[in-house]
Amino acid sequence: MQYVWDFRPVWLNFGVLLEGLVNTLKLSGFSIGLGLVIGLVLALGRLAPTRFLSIPATAIIEFYRNTPPLVHFFWYFYGLPILTGISLTPFAAAAAALSVQSGAFFAEVFRGGIVSVERGQWEAGRAIGMGHAQLMRRIILPQAFRRMIPPLMERSFELVKTTSLAATLTYGELVYKAMVLATQTYRPMEIYSTIAVMFFTVLFLASLGMRAVEHRLARRAAR
């Protein structure tokens, strides 16, 4: 097998790929930020003492966790405008799908962290007369937060990978730029390998960073 590698098209168009990477990170950052807010709301809803809140929150969480992201991308891009009359840009549709879905996953991380706080902490707070909201804000969330950071980061890396699906909505993130370049240059091998390396570099470095953070948290917990 004599394949002649030719990376020239990649170097010549590297600016395009970089632009794609920036768009990937832009979409990721936006969706993570919004997803965290949605996740916190859903988690507090699920843990709320009234069913009026906990049932809908649970339904949303379970539905989004158990359906493929691609369906949501299409639903938000092609379906939602019919309902609302407002058409979304590829970026907006992708960001909406990503933030709601990762919000559902983040919610479970938040909830897991919250319920992992020992019962005695809830009791001690209640015993000095704290209400549900005070207890959450002052006692439970500060303790839960530390335990949530590693899984939240892991979930965020998943989200970065999922942003690639925005290519199917023609949003110009890394995969989409690569597809366009591949058809222009007839060099799919080199181009797709390059973007794989780019994704790998970003995500691998991020996960190394996460391990460092985890390490520091573990040390601080032993204070």
- Using CA atoms, how far apart are residues 63 and 47, in angstroms rounded to an integer? 17
Counting Cβ atoms within 10 Å, is residue 205 exposed (0-12), middle (13-18) or buried (19+)? exposed
Helices (H), 68-131: 69-74, 80-84, 90-116, 119-127
* Contact residues: another protein, CB under 8 A: 1, 3, 62-63, 65-72, 74-75, 78-80, 82-85, 118, 120-121, 123-132, 134, 138-139, 142-143, 157, 161-165, 167-168, 175, 179, 182, 188-189, 191-193, 195-196, 199-200, 203-204, 207, 223
In the complex, the smallest distance separating the C-beta of residue 204 from another protein, rounded to whole angstroms, is 5
In the complex, the smallest distance separating the C-beta of residue 205 from another protein, rounded to whole angstroms, is 9
In the complex, the smallest distance separating the C-beta of residue 203 from another protein, rounded to whole angstroms, is 4
CB–CB of 174/164 below 8 Å? Answer: yes
In the complex, the smallest distance separating the C-beta of residue 158 from another protein, rounded to whole angstroms, is 9
Cβ of 212: how many Cβ atoms within 10 Å? 10
User: Residue 40 or residue 130: which is nearer to another protein going by CB?
Assistant: 130
Q: DSSP assignment, residue 115? A: H
User: Residue 65 or residue 215: which is nearer to another protein going by CB?
Assistant: 65
User: Residue 107 or residue 195: which is nearer to another protein going by CB?
Assistant: 195
In the complex, the smallest distance separating the C-beta of residue 211 from another protein, rounded to whole angstroms, is 12
User: Residue 95 or residue 195: which is nearer to another protein going by CB?
Assistant: 195
Phi-psi region of 170 (alpha: psi -120 to 50; beta: other; left: phi over 0): left
